Amino acid sequence: MARKGKVGETRILESVGMTKRFEGLVAVDSLDFHIPDGAIASIIGPNGAGKTTFFNCITGFYEIDEGEILFDGARINGRSPDQIARAGISRTYQNIRLFNNMSAIENIMVGQEPHLKSSWIGAIFGSPSTRQEDALTEERASELLHFVGLEGKGDMLSKNLSYGDQRRLEIGRALASQPKLILLDEPTAGMNPRETIETTAFIRRLRDEIGITIVLIEHDMRVVMDISEHITVLDYGRKIAEGLPADIQTNLDVIEAYLGRGAAASLEN
């Protein structure tokens, strides 16, 4: 059951006191955050602020030490990564992690995994339901390839695709599970300005056309301020600010975290 947040807004993802430690280092420190349903939200923060750890905790790669994570009102911490994926969260990676020796279309077909039901026995005997599902999987994969702008490149091995295409394919693979929430880890990393603008537009299209909630980790402040409707700022594993882009831009704690105490002080005066 989704809890009510601000007026007219449900929270798709929220955490209460989420803490993750690595042998003494507190990577995420009793974090309370929430992501509004249907929003494009960003997580920002200096290097080592715990952003990717945050993603890994949500997707079940790390088990959190304290606190709770609620997705769509249900507790998901303690579940395995594949169960969380089936619940409707999917992600991309900072350094692209495609299935390199599989073709582009196969990558997307694997992405549809949470909705597939056919068994190996059906595959051996070629049962009608398996054939039907396979055909449907392939058809959906082609549609998605088209959607992410990779039509005609389905049979290429994913590692032979260009960098930009690989980024798009990874997003396509994440979309294939028809998630409610998608976590994008630095989707514009390593892109030139034109590609960055295209990707930004593409992310907005994702939300507007498919209606998925999007959380992105991003370093490029122009991208963040351009498309985010909700920003969470982390530093040393703690949340130091949260809110609309305009609020964040003028928040002194944020400026201090990014530029140092002196810069914040001089702005204050």
How do the residues of the chain divide into helix, strand and coil, expressed in percent and rounded to 5? 40, 25, 35
Q: How far apart are CA 166 and CA 28, in angstroms?
A: 30
Query: Which member of 21, 79, 86, 207 binds another protein (CB under 8 A)?
Result: 86
Residues 22-41, interacting with another protein (CB under 8 A): none
Write out the two tokens for 35.
Answer: 């992501």
Q: From residue 198 to residue 227, what is the string marking binding to another protein with x (rule CB under 8 A)?
A: ------------------------------
Write out the two tokens for 154.
Answer: 């389905």
Residues 95-134, interacting with another protein (CB under 8 A): 97, 99-102, 106, 109-111, 113-114, 116, 118-120, 123-124, 126, 130, 133-134
Write out the two tokens for 208.
Answer: 């507007």
| Shortest Å distance, C-beta 122 to another protein | 8
Q: From residue 54 to residue 73, what is the string marking binding to another protein with x (rule CB under 8 A)?
A: -----x-x------------
Query: Which member of 42, 77, 166, 177 binds another protein (CB under 8 A)?
Result: 177
Is 47 or 101 the residue whose CB approaches another protein more closely? 101
Write out the two tokens for 187.
Answer: 């989707």
Q: For the chain, what is the total number of helices (H) and then of strands (E)?
A: 11, 10
Residues 134-173, interacting with another protein (CB under 8 A): 134, 137, 157, 159-160, 173
Backbone phi and psi for residue 52, each to the nearest 5 degrees, phi listed first: -70, -35
Is 153 or 173 the residue whose CB approaches another protein more closely? 173
Query: For the purposes of burial, counting CB atoms within 10 Å of the CB of 223, is it exposed (0-12), middle (13-18) or buried (19 or more)?
Result: buried
Collapsing DSSP to helix, strand or coil, 30 comes out as strand
Is 8 or 126 the residue whose CB approaches another protein more closely? 126
| Shortest Å distance, C-beta 58 to another protein | 11
| Shortest Å distance, C-beta 209 to another protein | 23
Which range binds another protein by CB under 8 A, 8-16, 39-47, 84-92, 220-228? 84-92
Collapsing DSSP to helix, strand or coil, 115 comes out as helix
Write out the two tokens for 190.
Answer: 């390593």
Q: Which runs of consecutive H residues, i.e. helices, occur in the chain? A: 51-58, 81-87, 104-111, 120-125, 128-147, 163-175, 193-205, 221-227, 245-249, 252-259, 261-268
Site residues (CB under 8 A) for another protein? 59, 61, 80-82, 85-86, 90-91, 93, 97, 99-102, 106, 109-111, 113-114, 116, 118-120, 123-124, 126, 130, 133-134, 137, 157, 159-160, 173, 177
